[in-house]
Amino acid sequence: MTRNQPCLRFGKLAVQMGFITPEQLAAALAMQELETPPQRRMIGLILFDEGWLTTVQIEQVLKGIFLQPQRPAQRTVVDAPG
């Protein structure tokens, strides 16, 4: 998983939760792309710095990411020789 994948998911969930608009997410992702490592900020920090998310909202998005119900592992059934 690359660094951008969790950021996209964070941003998409923040939009789904109604905390930010798709336009704000696009702007924050564009800002992030212009930053150079190691100073590149995580998307949540950019959204906070721009005043688009509060710390409480960031916490709620993170809970939404990390406390998602786990999907049961798919089991493969193999026929026994008979």
pTM score of the predicted model: 0.72
**Residue 11 CB partners (closer than 8 Å, separation 6+):** 20, 25, 28, 29, 43, 47
> Residue 62's pLDDT is what?
93
Please tell me the predicted confidence (pLDDT) of residue 44. Answer: 95
Residue 4 and residue 42: Cα distance in Å, rounded?
9
Which tens digit of pLDDT belongs to each residue from 4-63?
555 558 999 999 999 999 999 999 999 999 999 888 999 999 999 999 999 999 999 999
Q: State the pLDDT at residue 21.
A: 98
For residue 66, the model assigns a pLDDT of 84
